């Protein structure tokens, strides 16, 4: 399975661990599932760990469509953070585009090259 999910209720934190070449359908399905979940009000922060995955098959249009999903559920979002760990250059560039397209939402989206930077931003590490 290219994407697995872990929900730590005590921290209100969801982690998606991804592997292989991801498709728009796989990522968008997981985004939609977050918003459809009964747990949506308990989720504050999200970590997308793509250290062992790639978005190489994504087009710029598909990145825009992902941001549209997030914007379309703006009413369900509480202030929180979503960190995307994208270590390679191409994926990081697509992630920066996503970050810019979701700017201004209650939940902040940022991309990082390392897990350590992402965890620090999420407040998981001092």
pLDDT, tens only, 5-25: 998 888 888 899 999 999 999
Instruction: Provide the mean pLDDT of the chain.
Output: 90
Number of domains forming the structure of the chain = 1
Average pLDDT over residues 47-59: 95
Single out the residue of 5, 55, 58, 59 nearest to residue 30, CA to CA.
Answer: 5
Q: What's the chain's Rg over C-alpha atoms?
A: 13
* Structural domain containing residue 83: 3-122
The per-residue pLDDT for 25 is 95
The per-residue pLDDT for 77 is 62
Q: Kindly report the CA angle at 96 between 63 and 65, in degrees rounded to 5?
A: 15
Q: Is the pTM of this model over 0.75?
A: yes
Average pLDDT over residues 74-103: 90
């Amino acid at each position: 399975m290219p994407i697995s999910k872990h929900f730590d209720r005590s921290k209100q934190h969801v982690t998606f661990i991804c592997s292989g070449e991801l498709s728009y359908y796989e990522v968008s399905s997981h985004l939609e599932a977050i918003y459809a979940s009964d747990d949506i009000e308990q989720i504050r922060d999200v970590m997308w760990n793509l250290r062992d995955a790639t978005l190489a098959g994504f087009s710029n249009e598909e990145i825009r469509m992902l941001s549209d999903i997030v914007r379309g559920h703006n009413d369900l979002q509480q202030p929180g953070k979503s960190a995307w760990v994208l270590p390679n250059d191409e994926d990081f560039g697509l992630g920066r585009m996503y970050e810019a397209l979701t700017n201004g939402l209650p939940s902040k989206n940022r991309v990082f090259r390392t897990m350590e930077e992402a965890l620090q931003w999420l407040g998981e590490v001092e």
